[in-house]
Structures are given as structure tokens and as C-alpha cells.
Amino acid sequence: MKDLKHMIYFESLLEDAHNELVRKAKVNGKIALGYTCFHMPEVLLNLGECFSVRLRAPNMGSMDIATYYMASSACEYSRALLERAIEGNYHFLDAMAGVDCCEAMNRCMENMELLETNDPTKEKFFWTNLDIPCSDDEDCVNHLIEQVSRNFLKPLHEKYGVDISDGAIRKSVEEHNKICRLITEIGEFRTEIKPVITGAEFHKICLVTYICPKEDVIPYLEETLEEIKTREADVKNHYRARVVVVGSEIDDPELIELIEDNGALVVADRFCYGSFPGRTEIILNEEEDALTQVCRRYLKDTECPRQCSNHKVQYRYDRAKQLAKYFHADGVIYEQMKFCTYWSFERTLASHVLQNEYGIPSLSIDRPYRSGTSGQLRTRVQAFVESLEIKMIKARKNEKEETIKGGK
């Protein structure tokens, strides 16, 4: 397929947290707010002159210092962020919004604050941490509203004078929804038998919307969408199977490229930093205040295994099945980052349920934060693709035999 016009630029933006569009926004007086998790409502980080930056550690090197302050058994994502913070890579941030989500990230945020990794010249800088409920009933919604209001919106207004009114929240939701519509429309091309966009290309495009000011990204997305509409797929299909990738934090395009280099086209991305559920529109009504609706939506739509009530567990199983069916996937790759407590339980059980109860072929893997060069992972993906091919060949043979019998 012909290269997308802006793909090289998108890739350059992913090379550094303090990328070109972030620097441009800072020069124009915008307020950069860092966060690490879906449970920190993204739309509330984009009020007024604020813009959200979901933290990553591209081109990660040594994590020795972070490991000293944390532990080698902490997930590499949390250690990589702390290492980069100690190096001063996040000095451009004007506030850091964490969530009480897992012990590794809690420890990461704690060390970031205790070690004063923020820019000391920024007098208005503040740290905050939200306590996140483990389910989505109305008591949980009310608790999240209280946490967001007291620990984030109030200091944001007091420190920077940001408008936190109902009207301001609704305006931020509108911009968020515009991004979501563009990403969703681009992602829909993956449902086609011969998609005109790869999973790796889509992942890079989606990632950019998490790490750059929304208003600056929209023109590039609009142009890319129009380009994809007229893009022609390769005559020869280079992929032997279609897969949905489900699981924990992935901000590494090289992982998706590794999967696709071994013959499995990634047609859906239900993982942290993916489009499901992070790029799903938030529909507001006029009967209830916007903040309540936003908080309820983030608790209802989260696919995180931290939400451990029975109906949320079942929701995640059914959601993976639904995506596999909608995107015509032949199998599911269920992944987790090494040492992740929540996802280790979820992956082990969910991959069993999908395989044995739902009849969906599944590959269960744990992986490092940066895994694009993992030979072991490459071998396992190759074996999984071959097993899917064998299954498809047998299915076609059985179908042919049934047709012959029916003709007689």
C-alpha cells in the first residue's frame, strides 16, 4: 500500500514525550497535564487552555535508578516512567494527575513526588492522586465525582484559574468526541476483508491522540482519513490470520509490528492506549450535570481488571468476543506486562474462557514493556498463526465435504 502522508510525522511525535506539538502548545501558553491511566477522566484534563499528555517512555534505556527506588518485581512501565521523570523528561508538565490503581504505579507516583521530579521553577505545579472505585454502581460514581472535584478540579481552578463549569466540561467532551469519531471511522476500515490500513499504522495514529493537544492533532487526522478513503489495498494479502489484541498497557508500536510481521493482522485493539474503550464517544444528556455523566461513563466503560465485580468480569469476556466477531478475527492475543498483578489473574482466566467456553482461539502471553525484539514472543506468535491457519484449512475442508454430501 502507498505510505500515508503523515505517518513519518506521527512516528516522530511518538519519539519523545516533549514532542513538537507539545512544545508548540507550551509556547502558546497552554497548560500540560500528565496522566497515566484511563481512570483519570481524560476529558477533564482538556478543559479550557489545558491539554492532556498520557505518559510514555519511548526509547527506554536503563531502569537501574528506578529499580533502586522501587523493585525489580514492579512492572517495567512504572519503572520506565520513574526513570524518565528522574532524568527530567517530564519537566514540561504543569501538573501530574495520578490514580490509586495498582501498587506499582502508586509507588511510581510516590517516588516522582518525593524525589521532586517536577520542574522546581513552576510554582503552580501540583500533584494529585484519585482513589478509584472497583465497580460502577451509583455509590461508586458518587465517590469518583467527589475525588475528581476535590482532588483535581478544585486545585486546577485555584492554581491556574481554569473554568471547571458544566459548560466547560461539555465543550471538552465535544472536542473529545470529534477525536473519537475520526479514530473510529479510521478504525472501521479494519473490518474489511482486505483492510487499507494496518494495525501498526492505526496504533500509531491512535497513540498520537493521547500524547498531543487535541486541537492540533485533528487536522492531521482529518487529512489522513480522507487519504485512507481512496487508498488501495495490496493485491496480495500479506497476512495469514486476523487477531484482536486484548490486555494491559501497550504504547509500543513495535509490539504490534512484531505481531503483524509474523502474519497476524491486528484488527482491533482492546488495551490501554488502544481505541477500545479510550476512543469511544461520550454521549451527554441535558437532564444531568456533565461531570456526573463523565464519571459514570469512565466507570461503566473501563475494561480494566481492577474492576473486579462479577458483572464487570463477564463484561470483559463478552466484549472480547464481540470485537472478535465484529472485526472478523480468527483469534485473540491476550497479553499482559510482566509482574502486573491485576492483568496476570485476568489473562490466565480470560484466555481460558475465550478458548474453552467461547470457542475463540487464544494466545496468552506476558511480555516486557518494550518487546519488539523479543525472539521468544516472535516464536509464539508464529506458532499461533500456524495453528489458526490449520484450523481454517480444516474448516474449509469440512465445509467442502458437507457441500458434496448435500449435493448427493
Dump pLDDT digits (tens) for 213-255: 999 999 999 999 999 999 999 888 889 999 999 999 999 999 9
Which residue range forms the structural domain that includes residue 378? 169-404
Indicate whether 109 and 194 sit together in one domain.
Answer: no
Tell me the three state secondary structure of residue 337. Answer: strand
Indicate whether 203 and 350 sit together in one domain.
Answer: yes
Task: Give 219-226 contacts, CB < 8 A, sequence gap 24+.
Answer: 220/6, 220/9, 220/10, 221/179, 221/182, 221/183, 221/186, 222/182, 223/5, 223/6, 224/4, 224/5, 224/6, 224/186, 225/182, 225/185, 225/186
- Residues 89-112: tens digit of each pLDDT: 999 999 999 998 889 999 999 999
Indicate whether 113 and 221 sit together in one domain.
Answer: no
Beta-carbon contacts of 112 under 8 Å, excluding residues fewer than 6 positions away, are 81, 82, 85, 96, 118, 127
Indicate whether 328 and 382 sit together in one domain.
Answer: yes
In a domain, 82, yes or no: yes
Average pLDDT of span 370-383 = 88
In a domain, 2, yes or no: no
Beta-carbon contacts of 41 under 8 Å, excluding residues fewer than 6 positions away, are 148, 294, 295, 298
In a domain, 59, yes or no: yes
pLDDT at 407 over 70: no
Give the burial string for 18-40 (b: 16+ CB within 10 Å, else e).
bbebbeebbeeebbbbbbbbbbb
In a domain, 139, yes or no: yes
Residue 215, Cβ density class (10 Å: 0-12 exposed, 13-18 middle, ≥19 buried): middle
- Residues 285-340: tens digit of each pLDDT: 999 999 999 999 999 999 999 999 999 999 999 999 999 999 999 999 999 999 99
Indicate whether 199 and 347 sit together in one domain.
Answer: yes
**The pLDDT value given to residue 223:** 98
Q: What's the mean per-residue pLDDT of the chain?
A: 95
Last residue of a domain, one of 164, 181, 207: 164
Indicate whether 208 and 66 sit together in one domain.
Answer: no
Residue 5 · residue 79 · CB < 8 Å:
no
Residue 28, all three cell numbers: 502558546
- Residues 139-176: tens digit of each pLDDT: 999 999 999 999 999 999 999 999 999 999 999 999 99
CATH number for the domain harbouring residue 144: 3.40.50.11890
Name the residue type at position 390.
Answer: I
- Does this model's pTM top 0.85? yes
In a domain, 396, yes or no: yes
Q: Are strands 241-247 and 264-271 parallel, antiparallel or unpaired?
A: parallel
CATH number for the domain harbouring residue 291: 3.40.50.11900
In a domain, 23, yes or no: yes
In a domain, 382, yes or no: yes
- Residues 9-37: tens digit of each pLDDT: 999 999 999 999 999 999 999 999 999 99
Indicate whether 190 and 154 sit together in one domain.
Answer: no
- Terminus-to-terminus CA distance in the chain, angstroms? 44
Torsion on CA atoms 224, 273, 80, 17, rounded to nearest 10: 30
Last residue of a domain, one of 132, 164, 196: 164
Last residue of a domain, one of 164, 182, 212: 164
Structural domains counted in the chain: 2
Indicate whether 135 and 197 sit together in one domain.
Answer: no
Indicate whether 35 and 148 sit together in one domain.
Answer: yes
Indicate whether 150 and 242 sit together in one domain.
Answer: no
Indicate whether 102 and 200 sit together in one domain.
Answer: no
Residue 331: name the closest of 264, 407, 396, 263 by CA: 264
Indicate whether 142 and 174 sit together in one domain.
Answer: no
pLDDT at 278 over 80: yes
In a domain, 1, yes or no: no
Please report the beta strands in 224-383, taking only residues with DSSP state E, as ranges in sequence order.
Answer: 241-247, 264-271, 331-337, 362-367
Per-residue confidence band for 360, with pLDDT thresholds at 50, 70 and 90: very high
More confident residue, 408 or 58: 58
**The pLDDT value given to residue 49:** 97
Calpha distance 312→347 (Å, rounded): 15
3-state secondary structure 262-288: CCEEEEEEEECCCCCCCCCCCCCCCCC
